[in-house]
Chain A
Amino acid sequence: MAQPIIQVENFRKTYGTFVAVDDISFDVKPGEIFGLLGPNGAGKTTTLECLEGLRTPTSGQLRVAGIDPSSKPHKLTNLIGVQLQTGALPDSITPEEAIKFFCAYHNVPPRFDLLSRLGLTEKRKSQYHSLSAGQQRRLMLALAIAHDPQVVFLDEPTAGLDVATRVELHNMVRELKSKGTTIVLATHDMAEAEELADRVAILLRGKLVTIGTPLEITATGKGLTKISVRTEKRRLMAEDNHLPGVTQHHVKDEYSIYLSDDIGSTLTAIIDRVAAQGDSLIDLRVERPTLEDRFLELTNDGEAQ
């Protein structure tokens, strides 16, 4: 089994009396897309910035590619690529100059191809301050990956991006993964995390509340599965039935909609009932609880505590 490329052990970060991150531990495997999720102030950015060598942990052990980021950040420079949440560039630098500038410090040839891939060709000679927020974020992403780092840290990478650019960015992330790059993604966007991440960790008030694949995390929740059924004779609609596992039932747009905590029993019962009534199915949809549902459940539990 491959050694983790990122190791976080009993990591704690405080600012005065405020505990930003409270004794968390996790590993990231090489080539994995790892999502860090959490509401504002959960400690995602603090965790990332300590891994990037920008801040020093109060206690605990951090290792990125075998290097301690707080004591030897210079050794990480060519191994990691970072898109900071609040990073910026000089107002008058152009995307072309920025690529040349950063690639030169990483000692690699300038990657101008990234400008066209990220839709910045027309803006290659425009000054940074004249770029839109989305264009600025795209440029920061290009700079983060221009030197082919082993690990890429992306902090809210799609915030402020239009749909097309977001799709392009997701494709680039997948492409990086296919080349073996490890990606750590901090995001508020649950759909993005669910779509891209191999594993996610959810932070809440500095504590790690759960970690696993998106499927594992959604499966452990109390979330109900939504089953929508439409039949030819619409006989199910009339029934105020008590099917096994069903906790709620209502009708909308000719569909009978059930919320179930036992999907197997409920589906079997629905199909049996349709057959018994001499009716036939037109449409049947099953929607599992999403990562967002589970996230809300966890954060609501956390707030309640």
Chain B
Amino acid sequence: MNAFKNHFSFEFLTGIRNRQSLLMNYLFPLGFYLVMGLVMTEIFPLYQEMLIPAMVTFAVLASTLLGIPDPLVSSREKGIFRNYKINGVPSLSILLVPALTTLVHLVIVMLTIAISAPLLFDALVPTNWINFVIVFFALAFACIGLSVLIGVISPSSRTTILWSQAIFLPSMLLGGLTIPHNMLPGIAQKFAQLLPSTHAMNAFNGLAMARVADFSPWGSVVVLVFGGLMAFGLALYLFSWDSHNSTRRGHPLLALLALVPYVVGIFLLK
């Protein structure tokens, strides 16, 4: 336990000390939130209703998809994991500690947005805070799982960017952050249901913001939780200490199984 505490405290400080981590955990999401708060609420006043969930979702996407995978890949490629292995650091800690520290950074950012947005931009306050927190944690869990999985299967930083952007960019365009899900064309709506952000925005709308959900909001929470479990489980299974000298337990394409809960959601959620 002492070891885990030490690991956690070092990793948490890294999130602040390291420029890249600081950017992804705080500067990028909060900077984007300020710009969107200033611009979007002026040109599209209805955006005040979705500013808090949309910016919290953005913060989660940025901190996890853009912040978690690359340090995992570079640590493995630099031989840091080899050093950890020899010194008895378990693979579970290697994956869990950055996940938990990112979650702590995200809670700080979520609280900053949720408290400041009504004051700065007259944003709509969640009507059900408990549900808001539940959806936030479900979204964070799903995105952290996917991010850790990307970090585990990517062979290089370049591939990591490709995988991360393959989820991040569609999430920005189709995930309900800027364009409401029900305004998308039919096929795009179905595709969007493969994205955690779509389910998060749907659940925020239906459970926390007193807005209309496009499909079952609790169903979206279930998809996010199962998506997170699947992704984290696959990350643990596919983890390798050293990409050059050890054999992975399964093919990296197995990672696509993490999408199963989202695919099932397309057919089951009405």
| A residues apposed to B, CB below 8 Å | 49, 52-56, 73-74, 77-78, 80, 82, 84, 86-93, 97, 100-102, 104-107, 127, 143
The answer to whether A88 and B78 have CB atoms under 8 Å apart is yes
CA distance A107 to B88 in the complex (A): 10
Chain B nearest CB from A206 CB (Å) reads 16
Residue B165 interfacial (CB < 8 Å): no
User: Provided the pairs A88-B78, A90-B80, A104-B6 are in contact, do residues A54 and B18 lie with their beta carbons within 8 angstroms?
Assistant: no
With A88-B80, A107-B3 in contact, do A74 and B88 touch (Cβ < 8 Å)? yes
Instruction: Looking at the assembled complex, report how far the CB atom of B249 sits from the nearest CB atom of chain A, in whole angstroms.
Output: 14
Q: B residues touching A (Cβ–Cβ < 8 Å)? A: 2-3, 5-7, 10, 13-14, 17-18, 75, 78-80, 82-83, 85-89, 241-242, 245-246
Determine whether the beta carbon of B10 is less than 8 Å from that of A93: yes
Closest to B16 in A: A92
Query: Which residues of chain A have C-beta atoms less than 8 A from B80's C-beta?
Result: 87-90
What 6 A-B pairs are tightest by C-beta distance, nearest first? Answer: A77-B88, A104-B3, A87-B83, A104-B6, A88-B78, A105-B3
- What distance in Å separates the Cβ of B259 from its nearest Cβ neighbour in chain A? 31
* A54 with B82: CB separation less than 8 A: yes
Residues of B within 8 A of A104 (CB): 2-3, 5-7
Cβ A84 vs Cβ B82 within 8 A: yes
CB < 8 Å: which of B6, B18, B75, B86 contacts A101? B6
Can you spell out 6 A-B residue pairs with CB atoms less than 8 angstroms apart?
A74-B88, A88-B78, A97-B10, A100-B6, A104-B2, A104-B6
User: In the complex where A54-B245, A77-B87, A106-B88 touch, is A86 in contact with B18 (Cβ < 8 A)?
Assistant: no
User: A245 to chain B: closest CB distance in Å?
Assistant: 51
A105 to B87, CA, bound (A): 7
B77 shortest CB reach to chain A, Å: 10
Most buried by B among A78, A90, A102: A90
Q: Which residues of A contact B2 (CB under 8 A)?
A: 104, 107
Contact (A52, B86) CB under 8 Å given A89-B80, A104-B2, A105-B3: yes
Is A88 a contact of B83 with CB atoms below 8 Å?
yes
Let me know if A143 and B82 touch, CB within 8 A.
no
Cβ-closest chain A residue relative to B17? A92
Closest-CB distance, B125 to chain A (whole angstroms):
37
- Judging by beta carbons under 8 Å apart, are A53 and B86 in contact? yes
A104 to B79, CA, bound (A): 20
Whole-angstrom CA separation of A100 from B9 in the bound complex: 11
Q: In chain A, what residue has the closest Cβ to B78?
A: A88
B83 touches A89 (CB 8 A): yes
Further pairs besides A54-B85, A54-B242, A90-B14: 11, Cβ < 8 Å: A55-B245, A84-B82, A87-B79, A90-B80, A91-B18, A92-B13, A97-B10, A100-B6, A104-B5, A104-B7, A143-B87
B6, B78, B79, B85: the one contacting A73 at CB < 8 Å is B85
Nearest chain A CB to B80 CB, angstrom units: 5
Q: Please tell me if the beta carbons of B7 and A84 are within 8 angstroms of each other in the complex.
A: no
User: Assuming A91-B18, A92-B13, A92-B18, is B7 touching A101 (CB within 8 A)?
Assistant: yes
Contacts of A101 in B (CB 8 A): 3, 6-7, 10
CA distance A102 to B78 in the complex (A): 18
Chain A neighbourhood of B3, CB < 8 A: 101, 104-105, 107
Q: Are B83 and A84 neighbours in the complex by a CB distance under 8 Å?
A: yes
Closest to A93 in B: B10
Interface centre among B3, B7, B241 (most CB of A within 10 A): B3
Q: Is the CB of A80 within 8 A of B86?
A: yes
Q: Which residues of B contact A106 (CB under 8 A)?
A: 87-88
> Which A residues are CB-close (under 8 A) to B83?
84, 87-89
Q: Closest chain B residue to A146 by CB distance? A: B87
Q: How far apart sit A37 and B127, CA to CA, in the bound complex (Å)?
A: 71
Least CB distance, A101 to chain B, in whole angstroms? 5
Give bound CA distance, A106 to B7, whole Å.
Answer: 13
Residues of chain B contacted by A91 (CB below 8 angstroms): 18
* Distance from B133 Cβ to chain A, minimum over Cβ atoms (Å): 30
Q: Nearest residue in B to A74 (C-beta to C-beta)? A: B88
- Shortest CB distance A261–B (Å): 46
Residues in B with CB closer than 8 Å to A77 are 86-88
Whether A105 lies near B88 (C-beta < 8 A) is yes
B-side contacts of A56, CB under 8 Å: 246
Distance from B71 Cβ to chain A, minimum over Cβ atoms (Å)? 8
A224 to B14, CA, bound (A): 58
**Across-interface contacts of B5 in A (CB, < 8 A):** 104
Contact across chains for B79 and A86 when beta carbons are under 8 A apart: yes
CB A127 to nearest CB in B, in angstroms, measures 7
Q: How far is the CB of A8 from chain B (nearest CB, A)?
A: 18
- Shortest beta-carbon distance, A18 to chain B, in Å? 13
Q: Select from chain A the residue with minimum beta-carbon distance to B14.
A: A92
Give the distance to chain A from B235, nearest Cβ to Cβ, in Å. Answer: 19
* CA gap between A133 and B88 in the complex, in Å: 25
Chain A residue with minimal CB distance to B13?
Answer: A92
Measured between C-beta atoms, what is the minimum distance from A186 to chain B in Å? 15
**A residues in contact with B7, CB < 8 Å:** 101, 104-105
In whole angstroms, how far apart are the Cα atoms of A41 and B231 in the complex?
40
Question: Which B residues are CB-close (under 8 A) to A73?
Answer: 85
Chain A residues in 8 Å Cβ range of B14: 90, 92-93
